[in-house]
Amino acid sequence: MIGNKFVLIGILGLFVLPMSLKAQKQKKIKGEEIAIGYLNNSFDTYDKIQKTIWSTPELGFLEVKSSALLQAHLADNGFKVEKGVVGIPTAFVATYGSGSPVIGILAEFDALNGLSQDTVPYQKALIPGGNGHGCGHQLLGTGAVAGAIAIKKWLEKAQIKGTLKVFGTPAEEGGGGKVFFAQGGLFNGVDAVLDWHPASRNAVRTETSLARISIIYHFSGKAAHAAGNPEKGRSALDGVEAMNQMVNALREHIPSDARIHYVITNGGGLSPNVVPAEAEVSYYVRAKNTEELFDILKRVDNAADGAALGTGTTVTKNRLGGAIYPLLLNKPFTKLIQKNLERVGGIEWDERESAYAKKIAETTNTSQEDLDKVKTVKKYDEDSFGRLSPGSTDVADVSWNVPVGSFVAATFVPGSPGHSWQNVAAGGTSIGTKGLLNASKVFALTAIDLFSDPTLLEPIKTDFNKSRGKDFKYTPIVPDKGPELDYRVIK
């Protein structure tokens, strides 16, 4: 009897399986029509949103208007928005649908200080010393939201089971907003997360990044008349200088891919005839894994202690929230995104945009050949997969909690440096909007793939578990005091 039952199930399976595959395929084709059709008709909507955020550049954890605009647009389009998550007023999670799979999309929206710039192809601040979107996060957030709404239009029409979540993550620039999402367990139960970044090319992300710790050393000494009573003074600036000198000697004896950089944030007084009682230096330490990172940090801490001892000063160490892991890549996920990036293709600038780009390119001596690269998608390069890129991103902490697939789309003029006036300028024009719409289409196609065929998640999860290691347990490397919500407030 049992055997017969299996034969019957087998026969039914032969009949049902091809039918469901066919239905799945049809839903997928329809999904692409709905989602891409929506995005093709929405240039004006997203041009307006990105330019509104661009015009009100807000710094990390202070992105009140930018975050509210994206939240309102998601709510107007049927997402349930939870704001102020993980104790960050500008953080949000917008959810549509129910059940599995659960697919997430990351959205950023913070700007940088000192990068105010008009949309002209030459350097001209709108407000001298003001903020500007030099990393294109107004495009990043808007593109993520556009993609999510396009996917939702399909989920709703085709009545597909599954959950879509947009993570509105503030303060990417130094505040490590995503670390607190990870620490708060907001990625638990999420199957995969999609991520992109504005750039001057179209490519999947195949490079990993450095882990980073941010720390401030504050030296205290004794003020005194520098000529009259020098013996009574202890110079805090001497403490800073001695520390920096030791760290510069240390540099030669750390792994060659590690990085240490510092700025003196309090130079210790204004006049040479007063022995400075207070001085402060702010450090970033970066390394390819957290073990090396903490090893170097200990040596830098020792340099601070040694400097204090030698100069008769005292030092306090204040580790900041922008402490992040190295990025964990996912090969099957990257390959899936590559396929969709190629389907979406490169970006076509019209005559006006090309002329504008050419003028910006003149400021960086960039050739027409390099400019033309925005029209194409970079081929997947197996050899470069896993190579180290000497920067850091808070997407990394997400990538140890859930498989993350990342790519870049051309929203800037090739040849422009990162965090530059050129990127603020181009990003604020239709060049930026075209790039963000391409990114949103890659989001849509990839999410449609995953929702309509969740078996695609299996190799992604296997790769993720293998890369993390069997007994991996995520412990954030931020100090246990929550986000520094005022790290960008000038005091």
User: Which residues make up the interface to Zn ion (CB under 5 A)?
Assistant: 135
Closest residue by beta carbon to Zn ion: 135
Separation of alpha carbons 484 and 267, rounded Å: 23
- Please state, in angstroms and rounded to a whole number, the distance separating the CA atoms of residues 413 and 353: 10
Closest approach of Zn ion to the CB of residue 108, in Å: 7
Alpha helices in 205-284 (DSSP H): 236-250
Please, what's the largest Cα pairwise distance for the chain? 106
- Choice between 135 and 293, CB closer to Zn ion: 135
- Which residues share a beta bridge with 319? 215
Cβ distance to Zn ion smaller for residue 138 or 311: 138
Stretch (H or E) spanning 38:
helix 2-40
Q: How far is the CB of 39 from Zn ion (least distance, A)?
A: 22
| CB of residue 107 to Zn ion, shortest distance in Å | 12
Report the relative pairing of strands 404-410 and 162-168 from DSSP bridges: unpaired
Sequence length of the chain is 491
Distances (CA, A) of 166 to 71, 141, 330, 487: 10, 10, 20, 25
Lookup: tokens for 62: 């202070």
The separation between the first and the last C-alpha atoms of the chain, rounded to the nearest angstrom, is 80
Q: 135 vs 374, which CB is nearer to Zn ion?
A: 135
What type of residue sits at position 49?
A: I
Side chain identity, residue 248: N
Closer by beta carbon to Zn ion, 135 or else 336:
135
Under 8 Å between Cβ of 108 and 88: no
- Which residue, 103 or 135, has its beta carbon nearer to Zn ion? 135
Chain centroid to Cα 152, Å, comes to: 23
Based on CB atoms, which residue is closest to Zn ion, 392 or 452?
Answer: 392
Helices assigned H by DSSP within 41-63: 43-55
Given the complex with Zn ion, which of 135 and 240 has the nearer CB atom?
135
**Lookup: tokens for 251:** 């540099």
Minimum CB–partner distance for residue 401 and Zn ion (Å):
20
**Cβ atoms of residues 135 and 423 within 8 Å:** yes
Cβ at position 142, least distance to Zn ion in Å? 14
The residue among 227, 285, 289, 282 whose CA lies nearest residue 260 is 285
Closest separation in Å from C-beta 397 to Zn ion: 15
Residue 372 is given by DSSP the state G
Provide, rounded to whole angstroms, the least separation between the CB of residue 173 and Zn ion.
5
Nearest CB to Zn ion, comparing residues 105 and 300: 105
CB of 275 to Zn ion, least distance (A): 39
Min. distance of Cβ 161 from Zn ion in angstroms?
34
Cα pseudo-dihedral 133, 134, 138, 140, rounded to 10: -170
Measured from the CB atom, is 247 or 395 closer to Zn ion?
395
Q: Are strands 192-199 and 162-168 parallel, antiparallel or unpaired?
A: unpaired
Q: What are phi and psi of 222, to 5 degrees?
A: -135, 130
The angle at the Cα of 108, spanning 103 to 114, to the nearest 5 degrees, equals: 170
Please give the DSSP secondary-structure letter assigned to residue 127.
S
Nearer to Zn ion, 35 or 135 (CB): 135
Q: What amino acid is encoded at 371 in this protein?
A: L
Nearest approach, Cβ of residue 58 and Zn ion (Å): 14
Considering the complex, state which of residue 233 and residue 414 has its C-beta at the smaller distance from Zn ion: 414
Q: Cβ 135 to Zn ion, closest distance in Å?
A: 3
Residue 340 CA from chain centroid, whole number? 21
